[in-house]
Amino acid sequence: MTNPAPLHPVDPERDLTISRLIRAPRASVWRAWADPRRLEQWWLPAPATCRVEELELWPGGAFETRMSDDGREFGPHISGCILVAEPEERLVFTNALTGGWRPAQGFMTAVMTFEAVPEGTIYSARVLHGTRVDRDLHAEAGFAEGWGTVLGQLAEQLEGRTD
């Protein structure tokens, strides 16, 4: 299959971005994404807990996570579709589609890239929205805090320390 396109330039009106150095090898960062049991450990800000229902890491695969405040009852979190899964390189999903590329009512596409550097891995996430309104709503709903927190949890999980 033809390789995916390079990323379009960031659109500051419609995109949100976050980036963080993780002091762990790229293979470990990828594994923290690709293994549902590991992903559950960091994908939602504690004390909320996460259940990974579907994680089909191929184009058209289903990606579904559920969340719980009490660890017993789980409600909807993300219901989306994997668009690109290049191990250790790039992962793209959207909630504007569900598994098998079926259209849905989602509002974002997330592009995660993993860059090996001497200190570990730079984990960069770029989230695309259809409109500036959707971007602003996502920002006001706490994008920076939420994604920042879970990247901190990922770092903690992989670096074996709390910071």
Binding site for a copy of itself (CB under 8 A): 1-5, 7-8, 14, 56-61, 83-86, 92, 94, 96-97, 99-109, 111, 128-130, 134
Residue 5 vs 160, nearer CB to a copy of itself: 5
Instruction: Tell how strand 102-103 and strand 97-98 pair up.
Output: antiparallel
Q: Which two tokens stand for residue 42?
A: 């960091």
Gap between the Cα atoms of 152 and 163, Å rounded: 8
Compute the distance between CA of residue 65 and CA of residue 77 in angstroms, rounded to an integer.
6
Closer by beta carbon to a copy of itself, 102 or else 117: 102
| In the complex, minimum distance from the CB of residue 159 to a copy of itself, in angstroms, rounded to a whole number | 28
Please state the closest distance from residue 103 (CB atom) to a copy of itself, in A.
4
Cα separation, 101 vs 109, in Å, equals 13
By beta-carbon proximity to a copy of itself, the closer residue of 42 and 143 is 143
Helix (H) or strand (E) segment spanning residue 145: helix 143-159
Q: Which is nearer to a copy of itself, 52 or 111 (by Cβ)?
A: 111
- The contacts of residue 69 (CB under 8 Å, 6+ apart) are 47, 48
User: What is the closest distance, in whole angstroms, from the C-beta atom of residue 117 to a copy of itself in the complex?
Assistant: 23
Shortest reach from residue 141's CB to a copy of itself, in Å: 16
